[in-house]
Structure 1
Amino acid sequence: MPEAPDAATAWQWLLERRPNTRGYLTDELVEIVHAAHAEPRLRALYPFPSHGGLHFLRGLPGEVRPGERLPHVLYGPPPYTVYSSDFTELGEVATAEEAVALLVAHLPPEPRQPRPRQH
């Protein structure tokens, strides 16, 4: 399956259920994708459905370095189970919106960008 070239395109493909892309046949993914897309911090990440979960990446698939895992949510009929970056269960919630709130509450801070050197 083709991977989207950037996060914005990946979100667009998920939202429109573009044929032959990751997750397009999975009806259970729709509700959690819409809830996650409504959250700016998650919308800035690359959404990556895989192995029954909606994962989030800071870069493109294949570019993620060890130690850069983020929380994810298992999709399917409610309740939704949210896991930390180390696969510890964070909780089980009744709605997609609650799952997104739990995900966001456990996102690590954005990586710090190096400051430009002043001469």
Structure 2
Amino acid sequence: MTLGSATRVFVVAAWGEGVNLTNGSTSDLTELAVAASAWHAGVSLAKLGDVAPFLEVSAMALAHQRGPDHAVAEKWRRYLEPGHRLDLQMIRAAHAEPRLRMLFPSTSHGSLHFSRCTGWPFSRDVSAICPLGDGRYAVRHRGEEFSLEPSYSAEEAAASVVARMPASWGPAIAGTDHDLRDRES
């Protein structure tokens, strides 16, 4: 009989305000303790990689740490990059609307959603734009039955979303939908 050995691995993910800030893995318990101590001491994400090289810190996480306006701008920047597999006409039309540009965008099944907060779970009270093909779009208004009619141009769809937004909505706040609701109550 032969005995095998298993490798011990510590998997780490650090979250804050509904955002995955860093993750990684190490088999060295000392490395993990140094990272945890640095995190507890308040080391910035930008410097955490120097202290614990096994941890990955994304540009998006760094943007979140700088504040909600930076997180929103970074997400829009990513969506507007050439080669992104999103409907650029829809993204550009929504981004051209100043009130939508202040919200945190996300996508699901090709549709463009807007959140009044930057962390998960996102707010789901803002209408969403759904591509129909052939340069036409539907708008899914919260609390209403989804309909393909009327169909809009990308610009009309973005304007329709803005028209349904209360004046008090925006800019997006750091945190989750729960944090947003707590602030509003």
Deviation at 1:87, TM superposition (A): 4.7
Task: Flag the 1:87–1:7 CA change in 2: closer, same or farther, 3 A.
Answer: farther
Secondary structure of the structure 2 residue equivalent to 1:110: coil
Secondary structure of the structure 2 residue equivalent to 1:75: strand
Task: Flag the 1:95–1:12 CA change in 2: closer, same or farther, 3 A.
Answer: same
**In structure 2, what is the equivalent of residue 74 of structure 1?**
130
Deviation at 1:80, TM superposition (A): 0.6
Instruction: Decide which moves more: 77-86 or 5-14.
Output: 77-86
Give the gaps of 5 or more residues in structure 1: 19-23, 115-119
Secondary structure of the structure 2 residue equivalent to 1:88: coil
> Does structure 1 conserve the Cα–Cα contact (< 8 Å) formed by 2:116 and 2:169?
no
Counterpart CA distance in 2 for 1:89 and 1:38 is 25
**In structure 2, what is the equivalent of residue 21 of structure 1?**
none
Within 5 Å, which residues of 2 pair with 1:1-119? 4=60, 5=64, 6-17=71-82, 24-26=84-86, 29-64=87-122, 68-77=124-133, 78-89=135-146, 91-110=149-168
Counterpart CA distance in 1 for 2:88 and 2:142 is 22
Counterpart CA distance in 2 for 1:17 and 1:56 is 21
Give the TM-score normalised by the residue count of structure 2.
0.48
> Does structure 2 conserve the Cα–Cα contact (< 8 Å) formed by 1:83 and 1:89?
yes
Give the TM-score normalised by the residue count of structure 1.
0.71
Counterpart CA distance in 2 for 1:111 and 1:99 is 18
Identity within the alignment, %: 31
Q: How many residues align?
A: 103
AA of the residue aligned to 2:113: H
> Does structure 2 conserve the Cα–Cα contact (< 8 Å) formed by 1:79 and 1:92?
no
> Does structure 1 conserve the Cα–Cα contact (< 8 Å) formed by 2:132 and 2:138?
no
RMSD: 2.7
Task: Specify which structure has the higher proportion of helix.
Answer: 2
